[in-house]
Amino acid sequence: QKEVEQNSGPLSVPEGAIASLNCTYSDRGSQSFFWYRQYSGKSPELIMSIYSNGDKEDGRFTAQLNKASQYVSLLIRDSQPSDSATYLCAVNKNSYNTDKLIFGTGTRLQVFP
Amino acid sequence: DAGITQSPRYKITETGRQVTLMCHQTWSHSYMFWYRQDLGHGLRLIYYSAAADITDKGEVPDGYVVSRSKTENFPLTLESATRSQTSVYFCASSESRARSGGTEAFFGQGTRLTVV
| Stretch B24-45: mean pLDDT | 91
| Stretch A53-78: mean pLDDT | 96
d(CA B95, CA B19): 28
Chain B closest CA to A102's CA: distance in Å?
A: 7
pLDDT of residue B95: 84
pLDDT of residue B25: 96
Residue B11 has pLDDT above 80, yes or no: yes
- A23-32, A66-75, A103-112: the lowest-pLDDT one: A23-32
Question: What confidence tier does B2 reach under pLDDT thresholds 50, 70, 90?
Answer: low
pLDDT of residue B39: 85
Q: pLDDT digit string (tens) for B62-104? A: 999 999 999 999 999 999 999 999 999 999 999 866 555 566 8
pLDDT of residue B98: 54
d(CA B6, CA B98): 26
- The alpha carbon of residue A37 and the mean position of all alpha carbons in its chain are separated, in whole angstroms, by 8
Q: Which residue in chain A has the smallest CA separation from B37? A: A105
Q: Which residues have CB under 8 Å from A103's CB, separation 6+? A: A4, A36, A88, A89, A90, B35, B42, B43, B44, B45
CB contact (8 A) between residue B103 and residue A44:
no
Give A45's contacts in chain B (Cβ within 8 Å): 107
- The alpha carbon of residue B73 and the mean position of all alpha carbons in its chain are separated, in whole angstroms, by 10
Task: Measure CB to CB from residue A44 to each of B44, B59, B107 and give the nearest one.
Answer: B107
What dihedral angle (degrees, nearest 10) is formed by the CA atoms of A68, B56, B70, B94? -20
| Stretch A35-43: mean pLDDT | 95
What residue spans of B1-116 are helical by DSSP H? 97-100
